[in-house]
Homo-oligomer: A and B are copies of this chain.
Amino acid sequence: MPRPKSPVRSEWLDPAVCSLDYRLKIIGRLPFFKHLPGDAIGWINSLFHDQDVEVGQTVYFEGDEADHLYLVALGKIKLVRNTEAGKEVLLDVLRGGEYFGSLPAFGRHVHTETAISLTAGCILWVSSEEFEKILSRYPDVTRKVLEAVSLRLEQSQDMVRQLSTYTVEQRVASVLLRLGEKLGETRGKELLIQLPLSRQDLAAMTGSTTETVSRVMSRFSEEGMVRTGRKWVTIMEPSALEELIKRGEVN
């Protein structure tokens, strides 16, 4: 069998990525702020700081004081929790336009997860005080933040449901579909996920082990449902994975 050719197109980092224009676009599209008029966005933008991150860089650790709110401008950020035993649990992968971190405003005083960049990219952040300024000038932003947190809660509860009732195979299929939907690019009827997702990461997302995930992925490949490389995964037949989740087995 020929080595799968990588469908990844390198879109190289524009050095001007966190340019004013780009920042305005990101901030203006954020659910928190997108209802606000342009001048408000401009003012909010002036309160944000930007920072480039490289692959594998830790933005903050679980347990660190929670006094910054972050936005992903470019790249992908993963949120993980660690157990005392050293196992890691991957809670979510964020793309441009999503928030992370937390604030005393959310009732949290320390971060409850660790944030690590999966790719090189750029993030924006505001301090607690600066965010308070935004909230006091535009109080309905609180409402938007509430909506965003509610959505995360719902997703987390769905995760609980899946971990409680799915087999590893179903969980892997589910994670692939979720990532595909969220981060994937449509290539015909296929779905390309450009992400340096290791078996380790997939295991941490499914409450499993690298070996088991590897076996499951091999099976999926044999069945022609997915195709994977080191920095990408292509879902050849999303519907087949969906079927598998419903039926609970490969046939």
| Residue A145 lies at the interface, judged by CB distance under 8 Å to chain B | yes
Do A89 and B165 touch across chains, with their CB atoms under 8 A apart?
A: yes
Do B105 and A165 touch across chains, with their CB atoms under 8 A apart?
A: no
Q: Which residue of B lies closest to A156 (CB)?
A: B156
Quick one: which of B89, B151, B204, B207 contacts A107, CB cutoff 8 A?
B151
Q: Write out, one digit per residue, whether chain A residues 141-185 have a CB within 8 A of any chain B CB (1) or not (0).
A: 011011111111110111111011100000000000000000000
Residue with the highest number of chain B CB atoms closer than 10 Å, among A85, A106, A151, A153: A153
- Distance in Å: Cβ of A157 to nearest Cβ of chain B: 5
| Residue A246 lies at the interface, judged by CB distance under 8 Å to chain B | yes
Do B160 and A89 touch across chains, with their CB atoms under 8 A apart?
A: yes
Alpha-carbon distance between A161 and B149 when the two chains are bound, in angstroms: 19
| Residue A108 lies at the interface, judged by CB distance under 8 Å to chain B | yes
| Residue A81 lies at the interface, judged by CB distance under 8 Å to chain B | yes
Quick one: which of B83, B91, B160, B206 contacts A91, CB cutoff 8 A?
B160
Measured between beta carbons, the chain B residues less than 8 angstroms from A151 are 107
Do A112 and B154 touch across chains, with their CB atoms under 8 A apart?
A: yes
| Residue A222 lies at the interface, judged by CB distance under 8 Å to chain B | no
Q: Which residue of B lies closest to A149 (CB)?
A: B149
Interface of A (DSSP majority class): helix
Do A246 and B146 touch across chains, with their CB atoms under 8 A apart?
A: no
Measured between beta carbons, the chain B residues less than 8 angstroms from A152 are 153
| Residue A113 lies at the interface, judged by CB distance under 8 Å to chain B | yes
| Residue A114 lies at the interface, judged by CB distance under 8 Å to chain B | no
Alpha-carbon distance between A158 and B72 when the two chains are bound, in angstroms: 24
| Residue A87 lies at the interface, judged by CB distance under 8 Å to chain B | yes
Do A102 and B150 touch across chains, with their CB atoms under 8 A apart?
A: yes
| Residue A224 lies at the interface, judged by CB distance under 8 Å to chain B | no
- List A residues 91-143 near B (Cβ within 8 Å): 91, 102, 105-108, 112-113, 139, 142-143
Alpha-carbon distance between A107 and B144 when the two chains are bound, in angstroms: 8
Q: Known contacts A149-B150, A150-B149, A153-B153; decide if A163 and B164 are in contact (CB<8 Å).
A: yes
| Residue A84 lies at the interface, judged by CB distance under 8 Å to chain B | yes
Alpha-carbon distance between A159 and B147 when the two chains are bound, in angstroms: 21
Q: Which residue of B lies closest to A150 (CB)?
A: B106
Measured between beta carbons, the chain B residues less than 8 angstroms from A148 are 107
A→B interface (CB under 8 Å): 81, 83-85, 87, 89, 91, 102, 105-108, 112-113, 139, 142-143, 145-154, 156-161, 163-165, 204, 206-207, 246, 248
